[in-house]
Amino acid sequence: MSAPPADRKAWSVLIVSTLAFTVCFMVWMMFGVIGIPIKQQLGLTATQFGLLTSMPVLTGSLVRVPLGIWTDRYGGRIVMALLMASTVPAIWLMAYATQYWHFLTIGLFVGLAGGAFSVGTPYVARWFPKKRQGMAMGVYGAGNSGSAVNKFVAPVILVAFGWTMVPQVYAAVMVGTVLLFWLFSYSDPRHRAASHVKFTDQLKALKDPKVLKYCQYYSIVFGGYVALALWMVQYYVGEYGLDIRVAALLAACFSLPGGVLRAIGGVLSDRYGAHQVTWWVMWVSWICLFLLSYPQTDFTIHTIEGARTFHIGLNVYMFTAIMGVLGVAWAFGKASVFKYISDEYPHNIGAISGIVGLAGGLGGFVLPILFGALLDFTGIRSSAFMLMYGVVWVSLIWMYWTEVRKTELMGRHATGMRLKA
């Protein structure tokens, strides 16, 4: 039997890898839904709930750098298959946890699934020419929609059979995904071009100012996405008093476009450049988070006819619409940040994507804990958006001084040279 043509192999790798990442992300975000009945069962505070949902994110973030390096060295096929298989026992055991520390400990091992991003990104990118790598990484990154899949599937299982059935079903799905991935993926020794580079040499990228800047961008567009994907179901339940199934459905209006449309972000980044797309993403994020930050407010004005009370606040429809816009913006931003990486670090995509992915994942770990702490301290649910609004300001200022300002100065210099000529 003759081997499939290279182009067919590339698309097969991209499709099956995206499926695998979708399942991994679904598992990674599991606590975003089952965490609500667990919180009620254990009587957790908002901060404890934030820590519970964040534990898988911590492990999935910390393993991203070594996984990216191992992908460069040994190839994405074997690393991805072993990674997914290693999560199955922990996912299954989650159904038997009864105490808070049980959930935290098992959650750390379940979180390994989140490391799949740093494996698949360089794996699929190397199957495509440079001009199409943004598209390939964007399609693969659309596996973030596993967060929305979790919100569709988990509530149905939870209501019908109880929350303990969710991890058991997810474990079975992961086993099937490992088999499909292995059957329809391929390996190419030429893609392990970085295998001669030492671990210490690859980790020196942490000292690169550009890498640190991309880490900051990604901590918003990915870290913020993960944090809100975990936080939104309980936010809807608490803020608007919705049933968990309705809350999960509305939360998916943010998670789904935030994952699926990443592919379009990759195409736009290929066409217009990573900087242009990221710059607009940050401004759209700034506007959305400003609106979302305003808490439900009643205020009284003394008029000539007596006191009049007014209410300002987003109703559930406006809130969901703005969250949807934010999800679309972050979908584009996740793709554009990795377009920066493929453009500037073509021979070290695995290690650099692992480092940037680590920063994004750590954002997804820290933010839910801070959301919970702010809620416990202030009692204001929208304080979560206030925090993220400030973080976006940092990214905008950093981008202006290192990219926009630099471009303006270069343009003025070029204009001056032409005038002198």
**Across 90-108, average pLDDT:** 94
Q: Coil, strand, or helix at residue 298?
A: strand
Q: Is the pLDDT of residue 410 over 70?
A: no
Chain Cα centroid distance, residue 120: 14
Burial class (CB in 10 A: 0-12, 13-18, 19+), 302: exposed
How many angstroms separate the most distant Cα atoms in the chain?
Answer: 90
Q: What is the pLDDT of residue 406?
A: 65
Q: Coil, strand, or helix at residue 307?
A: strand
Angle between helices 46-62 and 6-28 (to 10 degrees): 150
DSSP-assigned letters across all residues of 400-417: IIIIIHHHHHHHHHHHHH
- Report in angstroms the alpha-carbon separations of 320 from 178, 233, 254, 390, 402: 35, 12, 8, 21, 34
Q: Is the pLDDT of residue 195 over 50?
A: no
- In the block, tokens 């550009």 appear at 210
Cα gap 257→259, rounded to integer Å? 5
Cα gap 63→197, rounded to integer Å? 19
Residues, the chain, total?
A: 421
Q: Is the pLDDT of residue 189 over 50?
A: yes
Q: Is the pLDDT of residue 152 over 80?
A: yes
Q: Are 162 and 270 in contact (CB under 8 A)?
A: no
Cα gap 333→336, rounded to integer Å? 5
Q: What is the pLDDT of residue 208?
A: 77
**What band does 198 get if pLDDT is binned at 50, 70 and 90?**
low
Whole-structure pTM value: 0.81
Q: Is the CA virtual torsion 187, 189, 192, 195 positive or negative?
A: positive
Q: What is the pLDDT of residue 194?
A: 47
Query: What six digits make up the tokens of 254?
Result: 């943010």
Name the residue type at position 50: G
Q: What is the pLDDT of residue 127?
A: 86
Give the pLDDT confidence of 20-64 residue by residue, as tens digits.
999 999 999 999 899 999 999 999 999 999 999 999 999 988 888
For the chain, what are the domain ranges? 10-185+202-420
Second-level CATH architecture of 10-185+202-420: Up-down Bundle (1.20)
Q: What is the pLDDT of residue 118?
A: 82
Give the pLDDT confidence of 115-144 residue by residue, as tens digits.
898 898 888 988 888 778 778 887 888 888
Q: What is the pLDDT of residue 2?
A: 45
**Across 377-397, average pLDDT:** 91
Q: Are 335 and 261 in contact (CB under 8 A)?
A: no
**Across 171-191, average pLDDT:** 89
**What band does 175 get if pLDDT is binned at 50, 70 and 90?**
very high
Q: Is the pLDDT of residue 1 over 60?
A: no
Mean pLDDT of the chain: 86
Give the pLDDT confidence of 238-273 residue by residue, as tens digits.
999 999 899 999 998 898 887 778 778 878 888 888
